[in-house]
Amino acid sequence: MTLKKTGKRIGILTSGGDSPGMNGAVRAAFRRIKANDPSHEVVLFKEGLNGLAGRLEVNHLESIQRQAMRGIMHKGGTFIGTGRIPELKPCPEGYPDPEAWDRRRAEITDVAVVNLRQLGLDGIIVIGGEGSFKGLSHIISAYEARYQDRLTLVGVPGTIDNDIWGTDDTIGFDTALNNTVDALRKLRDTIESHRRCVILEVMGNSSGWLALTAGIAGGVTTIMVPEKPESYDLDRVVSCIRSALQLKYRSMIVVMAEGVKKASKNPRIAEELRCRVESDPVITELLGRPLETRVNIIGYIARGGQPSARDNLLASKLGFAAANAALDEGALESIMVGIQRSEVVWSPMREVIENSPRLLDDGSELWDIANSLLISQDQSF
């Protein structure tokens, strides 16, 4: 039995990893929906997909007033909470009990579908990354198959990895980039004082966008990204550090995306590089001593703190566009709103999912820029 309503009811949730600017997107979507027609209602789900597929009475907020949105866009993270449900994915290859996985997936999906029906939603906006889009798309497909009724799904790209196809930028990436560059600058002060080497591991499980852009903006020695096997060839990396010493650099900084560990099939690659640098005879001869090397991991610090102005502007643009899409009677399929060449665009959700994650390609301009600006093997100037 659905709820009686006069206007439309639109659900909003933030899902997956938190990213600075998510609050701004929720705020923009809410205000646009209510400005379009005050009789429209907004339903907020708490704790991301966990809330959607959990006990409805404790995991959603209704009758939201404008006051609830005041001041939230200046805060990092997401004020309604977020979460992941790995079991919404198809059973992983090699899982010991595929039938148990499929049963659990069906149970979670069933709860979410019933919750959506009980709330009488006309559309739902999800702010998150690729995994969130896949999970919600699966739930919406099950909903429409059961009730033979359409439910509009609109995705808003929110991830610090910047790896969603169909958009040039994702909410949270700019803040994470600035946080990472700030960490690099602070590290440089110490390692220049001691003439040391630092290997800084940054987030980026599949893509190297954060590592690449932070490395360029931070002026590091070299960069290791999962898409480019030559970038994590340790012989090449050690040669770059040798070149930096020959050029009288006092600080040697290697930025490594966390996905390099998976791509190289070597979970200890950073530690192995540290040992290689400290025991390299050429480096020891150049310096007159072994080059002390430390491994640092920036981790969650990169995604914390107040969103940058650029992230809040992007969040406002995309939240506004998502509200318009959720209210649009002409939206015939699930879509994602993104930004391309500074313009808001709609992309079919199926294409976004099929083509994500967005990786550094062979013709990447940024990769060419990095190769020109950073230290290279046997650099002579």
CB atoms < 10 A from the CB of 138, how many? 17
The type of residue at 110 is: D
Closest C-alpha among 41, 4, 11, 39 to residue 113: 11
How far, in Å, CA of 327 to CA of 11, rounded? Answer: 11
Which two tokens mark 214?
Answer: 């932070």
DSSP SS3 for 140? helix
Catalytic pick among 37, 102, 122, 161: 161
Closest C-alpha among 76, 96, 141 to residue 308: 76
- 161 in catalytic set: yes
Alpha-carbon distances, residue 87 vs 46, 110, 300 (angstroms): 19, 13, 24
Q: Are strands 60-61 and 41-45 parallel, antiparallel or unpaired?
A: antiparallel
Question: Which residues lie below 8 Å from residue 52, measured CB to CB, with a gap of 6+?
Answer: 11, 13, 45, 59, 112, 115, 116, 139
How far, in Å, CA of 211 to CA of 217, rounded? Answer: 10
Which two tokens mark 284?
Answer: 């020891």
198 near 253, Cβ under 8 Å?
yes
DSSP-based helix, strand, coil % in the chain, nearest 5: 50, 15, 35
Region class of 94: left (phi > 0), else alpha (psi between -120 and 50), else beta: left
Alpha-carbon distances, residue 3 vs 36, 117, 328, 366 (angstroms): 21, 9, 21, 51
For the chain, give the longest Cα–Cα distance: 79
280 near 242, Cβ under 8 Å?
yes
Q: Are strands 60-61 and 123-128 parallel, antiparallel or unpaired?
A: unpaired
Catalytic residues: 161
